[in-house]
Chains A and B, each alone.
Chain A
Amino acid sequence: MTTEFLDILEMSRTGKTVKKEDWDFEGVVMTTRSLVSKYDIKWDSQEIIPLDDALVDRVFQAALELAETLGVYNVSTSKVIRFSRAEIEEGLQNAPRELVFGEGSDARVLRARKERDTNPPAVWAGNPGVPTPEEIFQPMVMSWMKEPIVDLATCGSLVTYKGHPVVSGEPEEVYATRNELTLLRDGLRKLGRSGMGLLAAQSSVSELGDLCVMNPAFLRPTDAHLVPMLNELMIDRGSLVRAANGKTYGARNASLACVMVGGLAGNAPGAAVVQAASFMLANLVCQADYHLLHPIHIRHVATSTRGVMWVEGVVARAFARNSPAIIVADIFPKSGALTCELLYEVAANAAVISYSGAHLEGVGAADGALPNGTGLEVRWMGEVGHAVTRQGLNAAQVNELVSRLLQRYEPIFSLPEGNPGVRFDQAYNLETLEPVAGWQRMYDEVKQEVRSLGLEV
């Protein structure tokens, strides 16, 4: 690649100086608004998967122009890292189309998926970054690692180590991140799935914990770690360190840009453009091996909102159609364990993602704010994704299914207290790692109901 990472680092220190306020307003807000208008990008909240393919392609073109016009802002130096169109396109061309995660018989090959792909999405199980108490961390991750449909695993962030709070950038982060990897690897060993690939070092909010687990005894070269961007189109020194760390060690760099639907990019159309541009730029500044697709709704947070599902679908399809890349889309619903709505939300999200050409990652139940997720809804996420692929549903059929699921869960967005459900240990038996009877019954009933909607799950 002609644009070497060391050159990018140099640019991040020597580029044009811009005030953060001007970057946000003159840069992101005004440029995105102008491009949304220029490329005539509109959304229809009743059509979660747009039937107009040309619209999807225009999102890709608008994102290319945005990436070239703005570049990435290094918030640590107040400098802008700019790229030419050729450099951005080269980054797209060089993006891996196929990657192996994990080892031995547990290894999985992830490929760039197509729209309406006949191959099922990978099921990447877990609730990345969800604050998790250490006493339930291992049984919680094992509850989804044990599911046969699961291909890869991830986890929440440990909030304590031996009872001591973990604060970003403090030494406790080192303890927590190493402990996280120890518990994950030990959990996999107990389940006889030692080789399963991981997205881990989630307890490392700063780069500190990330740096100390790049060792085969902790994070293996066939595992992945996060290289986040900041909202919007920004990066900082810590993430550049993470990118360099992953690259020099050999682990998979997972770019993560949680573009806000309703944030600086505006509503869904602008958010889709900024999200796609983030991926294009993450190929360079994050040295991304693959991308995590996780837009969030400014008010409701959840990925199961109409706007966020629209963005996830459009962005995954924009890449599938124009420049295939490995994209793993997150499912972070509003609801938590032991609620029917959690299962409806997961089904809608999984159907859109599976159709649109991304892989599945989740479930970050209860907006990812509470440890209220379990292995059962992860199994459900995989079952829905596989069924959509197996049946070869078209966009109109997925839209119909999603519309009927939305009717069932959308009212929870107006509940002032949300719909957090219960903590993991109230929904699962910690000894058997099986769901409690009420949760199992709810799953069985919803499964039957979704079958009646036409999904052969």
Chain B
Amino acid sequence: MEDSLKAIYNAIIDGAADKSAAAVQTALDAGVDPALILNEGMIVAMTEVGKLFEEGEYFVPEMLISAKAMQAGLSILKPRLVKESYKSAGKIIIGTVKGDLHDIGKNLVSMMLEGAAFEIVDLGSDVPPQKFVDAVRENEADFVAMSALLTTTMPNMKTTIEALEEAGLRSKVKVLIGGAPVTSQYAHEIGADGFAPDASRAVALAKSLAAS
């Protein structure tokens, strides 16, 4: 990895927003290809952050601080990313299902997906099925990602999938689900496309579904 990319990588790993923005500016000024900065500096760094989280080295604060550093760099980089050199990995509508206010897991998944070049439309928590449907339609989304922490709110994942079917949108999106009580068997039962037990594996799942 060349020095300018290494500086961006280190700034994100260390969660230093100011350094991340400055390092991106320095790389741009030196003529480094913006797509290279994104893919080889920033996305690689966020992948490492996810790995450190999985290994128990990083916790949620460190992930959030790294994500903020990534966003600071991205705000400098975005105007320079030309459409030809930058391709979004896909557009994802994400939220916790109706009745569920527990959003920490959802926020982590959202952050890691953004770090992997997915475009995120975060509907927040306690999201009714119709709001997912409307967001899919308005944003021409590729994915719907739903989270539930409670067994009593899990049925609203199924209700949301049914709402997507009724709206004629189910075949246009891949549906990912997650949350403490959710299992791959449950995902299969309700007709979701996949289940991920944590943020890193949600990224891997989304990438694999995007490629399928």
Contact = CB atoms under 8 A, between A and B. Distances in A.
A263 interface: yes
Most chain A CB inside 10 Å of its own CB: which residue of B61, B99, B180? B61
B150 A205 contact: yes
A266 B59 CA distance: 6
Interface residues of A, number: 33
A168 B124 contact: no
Interface in A16-34: 20, 24-25, 29, 32-33
A228 B153 CA distance: 17
A232 B18 CA distance: 27
B61 A168 contact: no
B151 A157 contact: yes
A135 to B, nearest CB: 16
A409 B162 CA distance: 43
B174 interface: no
Interface string A254-276: 00000010111111001000000
Q: Is the interface of B mostly helix, strand, loop or mixed?
A: loop
Interface stretch (A52-60, A159-167, A185-193, A216-224): A159-167
B82 to A, nearest CB: 30
Nearest to B181: A369
A101 B155 CA distance: 35
Interface stretch (B31-39, B43-51, B101-109): B101-109
Given A25-B68, A270-B61, A260 B104 contact: yes
Interface in B177-212: 180-181, 198
A173 B155 CA distance: 14
Contact of B152 (A33, A167, A265, A369): A167
B152 A205 contact: yes
A169 interface: yes
A354 B68 CA distance: 42
A262 B152 contact: no
Contacts of A118: none
Given A24-B107, A299-B56, A159 B61 contact: no
B134 to A, nearest CB: 21
Contacts of A264: 60-61, 64, 104
A298 B62 CA distance: 14
Given A205-B150, A205-B152, A266-B59, 19 more contacts: A20-B124, A24-B104, A29-B64, A75-B101, A75-B125, A166-B152, A167-B152, A167-B153, A168-B100, A230-B102, A236-B101, A260-B104, A262-B56, A262-B59, A263-B60, A264-B104, A270-B61, A299-B56, A369-B180
